C-alpha cells in the first residue's frame, strides 16, 4: 500500500513538473528602420507600444534605430517587423508595404525632411 501511494505521489509530481510551460522570455532587439522624423517616431511607437506582447518600443530618429522589448511567447520578431512594414516603414530586411508607404506624409518618406526644410 505504501509503495502504491509513493508511486502515485511520484507520478503526480513528475507529471506536474513536465506540464509547466517554460517561463516567458523577454527579448530586446534593435531594428533599423526607414523613419525620417518625429511624426514617424509617434506613428511607430504608438502602434507598437499598444501591441500585445510588446513591453517597450522607442525610436531614435537620428539613427533610425528602433529598440523593442517584447515577450517572445506572445509575439515574434518577425511579427513586429511585419507590423512596422504595414505602417509604411522598412524594418531591417523587411521592406515597407508599398500601399502603406504611399499613404505616409512627405516628411516621413526618404529625404522628406530635407525637402520640407528647403521649401
- pLDDT tens-digit map of 67-116: 999 999 999 999 999 999 999 999 999 999 999 999 999 999 987 656 44
The CATH number corresponding to 26-118 among 3.30.450.40, 3.30.70.100, 3.40.50.920, 3.40.50.2000 equals: 3.30.70.100
Residue 68: burial class (beta carbons within 10 Å; 0-12, 13-18, 19+): buried
Task: Please give the model's pTM, rounded to 2 decimal places.
Answer: 0.75
Helix intervals (H) in the chain:
2-19, 38-48, 77-86, 98-103, 112-118
Separation of CA 74 from chain center: 10
Question: How many angstroms separate the CA atoms of 119 and 114, rounded?
Answer: 9
Which of the four pLDDT bands, split at 50, 70 and 90, describes residue 4? low
Amino acid at each position: 500500500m505504501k509503495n502504491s501511494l509513493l508511486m502515485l505521489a511520484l507520478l503526480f509530481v513528475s507529471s506536474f513538473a513536465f506540464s509547466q510551460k517554460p517561463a516567458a522570455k523577454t527579448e530586446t532587439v534593435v531594428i533599423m528602420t526607414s523613419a525620417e522624423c518625429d511624426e514617424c517616431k509617434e506613428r511607430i511607437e504608438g502602434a507598437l507600444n499598444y501591441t500585445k506582447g510588446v513591453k517597450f518600443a522607442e525610436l531614435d530618429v537620428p539613427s533610425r534605430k528602433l529598440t523593442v522589448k517584447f515577450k517572445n511567447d506572445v509575439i515574434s520578431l518577425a511579427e513586429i517587423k511585419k507590423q512596422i512594414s504595414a505602417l509604411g516603414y522598412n524594418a531591417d530586411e523587411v521592406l515597407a508595404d508599398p500601399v502603406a508607404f504611399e499613404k505616409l506624409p512627405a516628411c516621413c518618406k526618404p529625404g522628406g525632411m530635407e525637402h520640407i526644410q528647403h521649401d
